[in-house]
C-alpha cells in the first residue's frame, strides 16, 4: 500500500503505519489520490465527473458506504427534472436548477438514459392560494422560465380529472431515472469508486487528509470533498470543522396510484413559501406509473424509511440540537398536519383529492419512502438554499436537497472548481 523508503513507524488516526519519504517534506509518502470524495450519491458522483473533465489526469477516489451508488436520496426521489420555477431569483437553487434541467435532459439523451420532458401543472384549489400562484408566475419569469397561466377550463385540457381555480403550466419540467444517471456518472467519471467503505475517522494534515473506513483501510488524498448527504454534518465534525448546522432527517412517504390513467403528467399544489417542501403531488414517472407524495414527517434515524426504523443515537443527536426544538415550536401546526396524513391514509387521500377528486383510499398503494437531508441552523431556520462551505484542503456540501438531483451537473462543476483550487 505504501511506496517509498520506509524510515520507521509513525502514528496517525490512531494506527501505526509505515512512515515513507518523498512527499512534501512531511514524510508520509505519496497520497492515494488528488481528490477524495465522500459520498456516492448523484452530487458526489457529479463532482468526480466534473473534476476529471476539468482537469484530466486528476486522480479521484469516491468512498461510498453502501454496496452501490444512489442508495438514499438520489435513488428514492420522484425522478422529477425541476424547472426552477419555485426558487428565489439569484439563489443557487434558481441558478443551478434552471441550468441543470437543460443539462440533465442533454446528458440523458447523450447516454441513452430514459427521460421525458413532460411539463407540469401547479394548481391553486383555494382562493387564498391565488396570490402565491401569481407570485410563482413572476418568479418563473424572473428566472427565465416560460410559464403559461390557466383558468379552470384550460386545466382540464391538460388534465381532465384535475380540478382547480387556476393553474400555471411549466413546460420545461421533465422526469428521468436519477439512479441510472448516477450509475452513468460513476462509469464515465474515471474515478476509482470504493463501495462498502463507510468513513469512521478523518485526519487533516498540511499535506492533505487521511480517512479511515469501517473496514480498517486508510485512504489519503490531497483534498477532501464531503458529499455525504444525510451524514454530511457528521463527516464535517470528523474533519474537525463545526458546520454550524445539523441534518434533521424528514421522511417523505409515497403511494402509487392504482389507476394511473387518472393523471396524464405531473400535478403539484401551490407550495407554502415558509417551507422548503413542495407538498403532496402526482408524478407520472418514466415507467408509466404515478407516484403520489411525498409528505414530510420527522424520521427517527438518518435512514429512517419507516416508523419502525429507530436509531436511538441519531435521534438523540437530533433532539440535542437546539435548532430542532426551535423549528418544532415555530412550525408545529404544519408538522401536526403532516403527521396526521402519515398515520391516516384517509387524511392523505383527502390531501390528494384537493387536486384529483376522483381518488379513493383504495386507489393508493404504499410505495418506498425517501428521507430528505434537511440542514437546520441553531436558531431553528430550515436552510432554504444549497450550502457549501470550505476549510483547509476541504469542501463540505452541507445542504443539497431537492432540486439537487436536477442541478447536480452544475453543482458538481462548482464543487470541482473549489476542490481544484485547493490543489493549486
Q: Rounded to an integer, what distance in angstroms lies between the CA atom of residue 180 and that of residue 113?
A: 7
Q: 1: pLDDT confidence band, cut at 50, 70 and 90? A: very low
Least confident of 27-41, 106-120, 140-154, 292-306: 27-41
Q: Is the pLDDT reported for residue 276 higher than 90? A: no
* CB within 8 Å of 149: residues ≥ 6 apart: 137, 166, 167, 168
Mean pLDDT of 81-92: 95
pLDDT tens-place string over residues 190-216: 999 999 999 999 999 999 999 999 999
pLDDT score for 289: 96
pLDDT tens-place string over residues 225-249: 999 999 999 999 999 999 999 999 9
Choose among 166, 169, 85, 170: nearest CA to 130.
Answer: 166
Average pLDDT, rounded, for the chain: 91
CATH superfamily assigned to domain 31-113+173-244+383-423: FAD/NAD(P)-binding domain (3.50.50.60)
Q: 396: pLDDT confidence band, cut at 50, 70 and 90? A: very high
User: In angstroms, what CA-CA distances link 300 with 28, 177, 277, 317, 370?
Assistant: 42, 27, 19, 11, 13
Q: Is the pLDDT reported for residue 78 higher than 70? A: yes
pLDDT tens-place string over residues 162-180: 999 999 999 999 999 999 9
Amino acid at each position: 500500500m505504501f511506496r517509498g523508503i520506509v524510515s520507521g513507524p509513525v502514528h496517525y488516526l490512531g494506527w501505526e503505519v509505515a512512515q515513507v519519504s518523498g512527499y512534501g517534506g512531511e514524510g508520509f509518502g505519496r497520497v492515494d489520490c488528488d481528490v477524495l470524495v465522500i459520498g456516492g450519491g448523484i452530487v458526489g458522483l457529479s463532482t468526480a465527473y466534473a473534476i476529471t473533465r476539468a482537469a484530466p489526469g486528476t486522480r479521484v477516489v469516491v468512498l461510498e458506504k453502501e454496496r452501490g451508488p444512489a442508495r438514499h436520496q438520489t435513488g428514492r426521489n420522484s425522478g422529477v427534472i425541476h424547472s426552477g420555477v419555485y426558487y428565489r431569483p439569484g439563489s443557487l437553487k434558481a441558478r443551478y436548477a434552471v441550468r441543470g434541467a437543460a443539462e440533465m435532459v442533454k446528458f440523458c439523451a447523450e447516454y441513452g438514459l430514459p427521460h421525458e420532458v413532460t411539463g407540469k401543472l401547479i394548481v391553486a384549489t383555494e382562493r387564498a392560494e391565488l396570490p402565491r400562484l401569481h407570485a410563482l408566475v413572476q418568479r418563473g419569469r424572473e428566472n427565465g422560465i416560460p410559464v403559461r397561466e390557466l383558468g379552470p377550463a384550460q386545466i382540464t385540457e391538460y388534465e381532465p380529472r384535475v380540478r382547480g381555480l387556476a393553474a400555471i403550466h411549466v413546460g420545461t419540467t421533465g422526469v428521468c431515472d436519477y439512479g441510472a444517471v448516477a450509475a452513468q456518472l460513476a462509469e464515465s467519471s474515471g474515478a476509482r469508486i470504493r463501495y462498502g467503505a463507510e468513513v469512521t475517522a478523518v485526519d487533516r494534515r498540511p499535506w492533505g487528509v487521511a480517512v479511515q473506513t469501517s473496514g480498517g483501510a486508510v485512504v489519503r488524498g490531497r483534498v477532501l470533498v464531503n458529499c455525504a448527504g444525510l451524514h454530511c454534518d457528521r463527516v464535517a465534525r470528523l474533519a474537525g470543522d463545526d458546520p454550524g448546522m445539523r441534518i434533521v432527517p424528514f421522511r417523505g412517504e409515497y403511494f402509487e396510484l392504482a389507476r394511473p390513467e387518472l393523471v396524464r403528467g405531473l400535478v403539484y399544489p401551490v407550495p407554502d413559501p415558509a417551507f422548503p417542501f413542495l407538498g403532496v403531488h402526482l408524478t407520472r414517472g418514466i415507467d408509466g406509473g404515478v407516484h403520489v407524495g411525498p409528505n414530510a414527517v420527522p424520521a427517527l434515524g438518518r435512514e429512517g424509511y419507516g416508523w419502525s426504523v429507530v436509531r436511538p443515537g441519531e435521534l438523540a443527536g437530533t433532539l440535542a440540537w437546539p435548532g430542532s426544538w426551535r423549528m418544532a415550536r415555530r412550525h408545529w401546526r404544519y408538522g401536526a398536519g403532516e403527521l396526521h396524513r402519515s398515520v391516516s391514509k384517509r387524511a392523505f387521500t383527502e390531501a390528494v383529492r384537493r387536486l384529483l377528486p376522483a381518488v379513493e383510499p383504495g386507489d393508493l398503494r404504499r410505495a418506498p419512502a425517501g428521507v430528505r437531508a434537511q440542514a437546520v441552523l441553531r436558531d431553528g431556520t430550515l436552510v432554504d438554499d444549497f450550502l457549501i462551505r470550505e476549510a483547509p484542503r476541504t469542501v463540505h456540501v452541507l445542504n443539497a436537497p431537492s432540486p439537487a438531483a436536477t442541478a447536480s451537473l452544475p453543482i458538481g462543476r462548482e464543487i470541482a472548481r473549489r476542490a481544484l483550487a485547493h490543489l493549486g
